[in-house]
Every structure is written in structure tokens, then in C-alpha cells.
Amino acid sequence: NKAYRYELKPNKTQLILLKKHAGCARFAWNWGLAERKRLWEEERKTTNAIELHRKLNRLKKTDFPWMYEVSKCAPQEALRDLDKAFKNFFEGRANFPKFKKKGVHDSFRLTGTIKVFPKHVQLPRLGKIRVKEKTTKCKGRILSATVSREADRWYVSLAVIEEIPDPVSVVGEPVGIDVGLKHFAVLSTGEKIE
């Protein structure tokens, strides 16, 4: 597994969509956290990401129709992240999950058909977004894309599975090099390089 991070160069329409996706993911996290707290306080029951997502999908049509403007992955992945946060809390690795605030650590994750072009990244429901540097290094099967905002700059991190070839074996005798003052370099074989 490997990750590649690129700075995005969105146009005005894409910028609005990025903000909507981040807002939807934040809303899903906060809604899921409030729902889990309510369920525990009232019924002493716990739930998971799948059940929360089903409940949110039922409420989408009537209470939250604006969620249809963004990819279904944004709230779904936020609820999965909330589930992981609760597991980490119960296993003693993290504090109790907190509600997210607007404009603080805005991010969302997308899965599905993600394509990489030399100067663009294609994301579900967002289309092709230009990147500020070439994406030629990114090779392999893309698992997900996490889009985040830092100081009014948007970045995409692509999680990729790559085949790493076996290292080529070294041929010859190993040699140590000492860089010195009298000679440029002295090799462990005794050879001096001026």
C-alpha cells in the first residue's frame, strides 16, 4: 500500500462541490455521533456504521434532500470513520469521538471509479479536477481518494496498491568510502581518489 498526495487546482464550481462534500461528511459524522449517544442514553444499545448508514438513507429523502447533491461515499465513509473512532476508544487507543466543526480539518473520502491523468484527477460526482503537479508517479490500483483542505488549499491523497519488484542483487565486493581533507575520498581497499 502506498499513498500519493497532490494539490488540487479546482475551478469555482468544483470548489463549491468540494465544500459541499466536506460539509456532508462532517454532517454525517456529527449526526452519527449524536445518534449513537442518544441510542446509548435512552436504550443502552450500541450500533455500527452499516445500521447508521441505512437509517441515514431512509431519512435522506424526507429530512436531508440536499445530500443527493454529493457522492454517496462521503457520508458513508464518514460513518465508517466514526465506527473506527469508537473501536479505538473502546480499545483504549483514543479519546471519545468529538463533534466536528465547520472549517476545522475539512476532509472526505471517496471510493469507486477514480482515475488519474497526467494533469487531472477524476473523482466520483466531482469530475476531472486539475492538479498543480504531474501525476505520472501514481501507478497501481487506486483504493480510495481522501480530499482535505488546509489553509484554503485542497489536496487529494490517493491510496494505491502497487506491485513492488524484488530488489536487484548487488554485484561485486562492498566498499567503504571515507571523505577526507588530504584526499577527496579514500576507499576501504586502500585506493585514494584525488
Neighbours of 46 (CB within 10 A): 11
All 3 cell numbers of residue 153?
A: 488549499
Residue 163 banded pLDDT, cuts 50, 70, 90:
confident
Q: Measured between alpha carbons, how far is 184 from 194 in angstroms, rounded to an integer?
A: 5
Are 48 and 86 contacting, i.e. CB atoms less than 8 angstroms apart?
Answer: no
What pTM value is reported for the model? 0.82
Name the helix (H) or strand (E) containing 145: strand 141-150
Tell me, what amino acid is at 106?
D
Beta bridge partners of 160: 2, 142
Q: Measured between alpha carbons, how far is 140 from 146 in angstroms, rounded to an integer?
A: 17
Percentage of the chain lying above the pLDDT 90 cut: 72
Burial of 121 (0-12, 13-18, 19+ CB in 10 A): buried
Which tens digits make up the pLDDT trace of 62-81?
Answer: 999 999 999 999 999 999 99
Name the helix (H) or strand (E) containing 131: strand 127-131
Which tens digits make up the pLDDT trace of 101-147?
Answer: 998 889 999 998 999 999 999 999 999 999 999 988 888 899 999 99
All 3 cell numbers of residue 58?
A: 431512509
Sheet harboring 192-193: ordered strands across? 177-178, 185-187, 192-193
Are 79 and 28 contacting, i.e. CB atoms less than 8 angstroms apart?
Answer: yes
Residue with cell 480539518: 105
DSSP 40: H
